[in-house]
Amino acid sequence: MLFNSYAFWIFFALVWALYRCLPHRGQNVALLIASYFFYGCWDWRFLPLILTTTAVSYFSALGIATSNTKQRQHTWMVLAAVVSLGLLGFFKYWGFFAESAAALLTALGFHADLGTLKVVLPVGISFYTFQTMSYTIDVYRGQVTPTRSFIDYALYVAYFPQLVAGPIERSSSLLPQTTNPRIRTGGDFSEGLYLVLVGLFLKVVMGDNMGFIANGIFGAEKGSLTGTEALVGIYCFAFQIYGDFAGYSSIARGVSKWLGIDLMTNFRMPYLARNPSEFWQRWHISLSSWLRDYLYIPLGGNRGSSTKTYRNLMLTMLLGGLWHGAGWTFVAWGALHGLILCGYRAAGDRFRLPGRWGRIVATVGFFHLVCLAWLFFRADSFAQAWEMLGLIFRHQEMTSLARYGLGMLVFFCGPLMVYEVWLDQAHTLRRLETVRWGWRATTYCYLVFMLIVFPPPIFGQFIYFQF
Give the catalytic positions in this structure.
324
Q: Are 168 and 134 in contact (CB under 8 A)?
A: yes
Q: Are 459 and 208 in contact (CB under 8 A)?
A: yes
The three-state (H, E, C) secondary structure of 133-144, written as one string: HHHHHHHHHCCC
Backbone angles phi, psi at 180, to 5 degrees: -110, 150
Prior bond of 167 cis (ω within 30°): yes
| Ordered DSSP codes for 366-392 | HHHHHHHHHHHHH-SSHHHHHHHHHHH
Helix axis angle, 188-200 to 437-453, nearest 10°: 40
Find all residues with CB under 8 Å of 417, minimum gap 6, and list them: 271
Q: Are 144 and 135 in contact (CB under 8 A)?
A: yes
| Ordered DSSP codes for 230-251 | HHHHHHHHHHHHHHHHHHHHHH
Find all residues with CB under 8 Å of 125, minimum gap 6, and list them: 46, 49, 87, 88, 91, 92
Helix axis angle, 47-66 to 125-141, nearest 10°: 10
**Dist. CA 230–CA 393, nearest whole Å:** 10
